[in-house]
Amino acid sequence: MKRLVLVFVFLATLGILIFADASVQDIIITPTQPSTLTIKVWTDRSAGSTYYPGDSIHVYFKTSQDAYVTIYDYTTSGQLKVIFPNFFQRDNFVRGGVTYVIPNPNYNYNFTIAGPNGREIIEAIASTNPNVLSKPSNSGNQLFQEIPEGLGYLQKLKLEIVGKPVAVDTTYFYVGYVPSVGTVHFDSQPQGAKLYVDGMYEGVTPLDLQLAEGSHLGVFWYGQMNVSKVFNVVANTYQVVSAIIAQPQQPYLQNQTFTINFNTTPSGAMIFVNGKMLGISSCRIDLSSGVYQITIVKPDYSTIVTEINVNYSQTFNFSLKRLNF
């Protein structure tokens, strides 16, 4: 019996991570708090490897506990597909410690790589509670459901997991070419922060990594706090990416707090301060003196990640860019 061959068409831009109107912080899903549940997703080659048109590919994943899993494939054309569950593997409940593979050998289909050249991102998200995350429906009986909202769906998913103990992991690979790389030194204050780059755990700071040229997302976790950094790697160069995760207060300002006004156009955006959602714009937030990471999220709009230095009461105005689907 012949096996059904499913061609993965990875739409990307050669050499540079540009995803339609999206940036990496719009695409990469990161947990908003630590969780005892873990998930790992990988392919039959190491992360960042190159596949060529005609190569076969298998995607593997494993959770530390029994969980409910959804795996997304985001293309650089802005398409978002669910590759697990799928037409063949409809149940997204998995057993902890068991390695699963897509395509499943019990079903009669294969994955084969096709061009054009570029980079593809695969993201897996898991929860021990079936009601924590909404399960994408496959009412049209597509082999692999395509989500029309694309990036907008990922934005809403990020809001859905705020404060919930979900597990997330990411892997990626290149199609048709081997990218040039640069060296990045990661450091943090304090040192010893757990570092995730493009959704993958890399170790603790300080740390040196070789990364492909283009845009990347680094997330530094220290205790219950996290800081995100978007940075661009230039081939054959050395650069430093650092994060201040906890800013000591100056003694003479130790007991002072300041009122910070956050306005966005349009309004109704969620305001995260050091990873915690503290208001919806327009809003006022009282903060002690120090440096804070601000993340602004509104479905269907590009995410803003920035830092502010608080030492007096002030107002910040942000203009949100609508995403094109």
Same structural domain for residues 146 and 161?
yes
The number of folded domains in the chain is 3
Considering the domain architecture, whether residues 126 and 216 belong to the same structural domain is answered as no
C-alpha to C-alpha distance for 188 and 205, rounded to whole angstroms: 6
CA distance 137 to 86: 10
Range of the domain at 231: 181-244
* 7-31: pLDDT as tens digits: 454 333 223 333 434 567 777 887 7
Q: How far apart are CA 268 and CA 279, in angstroms?
A: 9
Task: For residues 269 and 298, give the distance between their C-alpha atoms in angstroms, rounded to a whole number.
Answer: 5
> Do 136 and 278 sit in the same domain of this protein?
no
Q: What is the CATH number of the domain that holds 18?
A: 2.60.40
Q: Which residue has the tokens 């669910």?
A: 82
Q: pLDDT tens digit string along 59-76? A: 999 999 999 999 998 876
Confidence of residue 325 (pLDDT cuts 50, 70, 90): low
Q: What is the pLDDT of residues 210-230, one digit of tens each?
A: 999 988 889 898 887 888 888
First to last CA, the chain: 40
Candidates 160, 153, 226, 235; CA nearest to 196 is 226
Domain boundary among 159, 175, 191: 175
Q: Distance between CA 288 and CA 272 in Å, rounded?
A: 15
Which of 122, 149, 175 is the last residue in one of the domains?
175
Alpha carbon separation from 201 to 99, 166, 217, 305 (Å, rounded): 19, 15, 12, 20
Domain membership of residue 324 (yes or no) is no
How much is the pTM?
0.73
